[in-house]
Amino acid sequence: MASEEFGKNYNDANGKKNPETSGQVAGQAAVAGHPVMFGALIAGLILALAGNVYLWNRSDQIGTQLNTNQNITEKQIARLSEATTTILEQRLQAQNEELKAELKGTHDSANAAVSKARMEAQQQTKALTAKLEEQKTQISEQLAQIHDANEAADSKLTAVSTKVSDVSTDVTAVKADVVSAQAGLQKAGAELARVNGDLGMLSGLIATNSKELAALRERGDRNYYEFALNRSDAGKKVNNIALTLKKTDPKKNRYTMEILSDDKRVEKKDKTINEPVQLMVAGNREPYEIVVNRVNKDQIIGYLSTPKVTTKQ
């Protein structure tokens, strides 16, 4: 079999095509003629077969190794996938727990805030209710006071009406008194006298008491200013002049005083009661007149009379 296959390959290699019988003969001749070449071919064939076997074995080993590596890789991938899945599940579980804790904290905070707001609202409602009740009580008391005040006002109005009637009667009586007083003033005015003052000028009408002074005021001819001057009243202002009492003699009804007017000091010495003490003051054509009606110990009582008409400076 090997010789025949070798012969066929040899003939094919040399490009010759012979019948099967002639090939056998030619092959035998070739074998007989080339023993060395035949041996070399046998050796090459053996080597080729050995190489094929080695390659087959090696291919089988590589396939086995590949299968082993594939199995190992698949197991490692499965383990890695399982580990990854476990890690992801753990992380998801941890995140879920954290989220639950946060939600619980938020829920608790919200509940606490709602409770606090509800409590504050209740407290404010109670305070507002109490305040409204207090205001209501105050308003009721004020209304009661107003009612009492109205009743009191009605009573007073009735009393006032009664008093008005009484006053009307009194007014009639007062009018009669006024008429009588005016008659008295007219009589007192008739009794007033004119005398010469210490400057030798005829004075105005002289009043010796408060009744006569009221009559002079009623006439309206001059201005009148009453005063009571003590020795301790140095420079006492009466209208626009200053008076200082120097000495009094109640037994003789005499006094001494100093007058300051227009920055000038004038001493009036040993004057008697009801004596017009005259003084010319700038801006007046008529003199100022001082009349003392009473001399006491360290005190005089009287009035100052000034003209109503003045001249321009």
What does the alpha-carbon distance between residue 288 and residue 293 come to, in Å, rounded to a whole number?
Answer: 16
Task: Specify the amino acid at residue 4.
Answer: E
What does the alpha-carbon distance between residue 113 and residue 117 come to, in Å, rounded to a whole number?
Answer: 6
Task: Specify the amino acid at residue 12.
Answer: D
Q: Quick one: pLDDT at residue 188?
A: 45
Distances (CA, A) of 280 to 63, 147, 224, 258, 303: 159, 68, 16, 14, 16
Provide the mean pLDDT of the chain: 81
8 Å CB contact between 279 and 288: yes
3 pLDDT above the threshold of 70:
no
What does the alpha-carbon distance between residue 241 and residue 59 come to, in Å, rounded to a whole number?
Answer: 154
What six digits make up the tokens of 26? 């030619």
8 Å CB contact between 19 and 42: no
What does the alpha-carbon distance between residue 165 and residue 283 come to, in Å, rounded to a whole number?
Answer: 53
What does the alpha-carbon distance between residue 142 and residue 133 come to, in Å, rounded to a whole number?
Answer: 14
Question: Please, what are the domains in the chain?
Answer: 197-307 (2.60.98)
8 Å CB contact between 221 and 288: no
What does the alpha-carbon distance between residue 263 and residue 100 come to, in Å, rounded to a whole number?
Answer: 106
What does the alpha-carbon distance between residue 290 and residue 254 come to, in Å, rounded to a whole number?
Answer: 14
8 Å CB contact between 281 and 213: no
pLDDT band for 23, please (50, 70, 90 cuts). low
165 pLDDT above the threshold of 70:
no
Q: Quick one: pLDDT at residue 192?
A: 54
Question: Could you report the per-residue pLDDT of 30-80, keeping only the tens digit for each?
Answer: 555 567 888 888 988 998 889 889 898 888 888 898 889 888 988 888 888
Q: Quick one: pLDDT at residue 204?
A: 72
Higher pLDDT, 151 or 249: 249
What does the alpha-carbon distance between residue 79 and residue 154 come to, in Å, rounded to a whole number?
Answer: 109
Which of 71-75, 151-155, 156-160, 301-305 shows the highest mean pLDDT? 301-305
Least confident among 16-20, 154-158, 199-203, 232-236: 16-20
Instruction: Detail the DSSP E strand segments found in 216-287.
Output: 222-230, 236-238, 241-249, 254-261, 264-272, 277-279
Q: Quick one: pLDDT at residue 189?
A: 46
Q: Quick one: pLDDT at residue 178?
A: 46
Helix (H) or strand (E) holding 124: helix 35-191
Question: Could you report the per-residue pLDDT of 257-274, keeping only the tens digit for each?
Answer: 999 999 999 999 999 999
Question: Could you report the per-residue pLDDT of 177-209, keeping only the tens digit for each?
Answer: 545 545 554 554 444 556 776 677 776 789 999
224 pLDDT above the threshold of 50:
yes
